[in-house]
Amino acid sequence: MLYRIGECTMFEYRPKGTCSTKISFSIEDDTIRSVLFKDGCNGNLKAISLLVEGMKPQELIGRLKGIRCGRRGTSCADQLARAVEKALSPGDPPG
């Protein structure tokens, strides 16, 4: 799902297989901005949000895609990478 706040387009993604229940972010001028996670490991997700702020989308995908949490086949970081991939796919916004 995507929505606009003023001049900014925000993407909203419902992660699968993680403790977080929603990821919101924007991509402005080919740069990741305003990453927010709902639920999940509060400290770790705040850290991820700060670390990816200002990163290029393809760099984020390259660094985070495939990271696993315990025995799960995914993680909040992996789900963020998947959300960014979907946001970059024409006609297939995150959902």
51-89 per-position pLDDT tens digit: 999 999 999 999 999 999 999 999 999 999 999 999 998
Q: Is residue 1 within 8 Å of residue 94, measured between CB atoms?
A: yes
Can you tell me the distance from the alpha carbon of 58 to that of 52, in angstroms, rounded to the nearest whole number? 11
Which domains are present in the chain?
A: 2-88 (3.30.390)
pLDDT digits (tens, 9 = 90+) for 6-42: 667 889 999 999 999 999 999 999 999 999 999 999 9
Q: Which two tokens stand for residue 81?
A: 């990478």
- Where b means 16+ CB within 10 Å and e means fewer, 22-60 reads ebbbbbeeeebeebebeebbeeebeebbeebeebebeeb
The contacts of residue 5 (CB under 8 Å, 6+ apart) are none
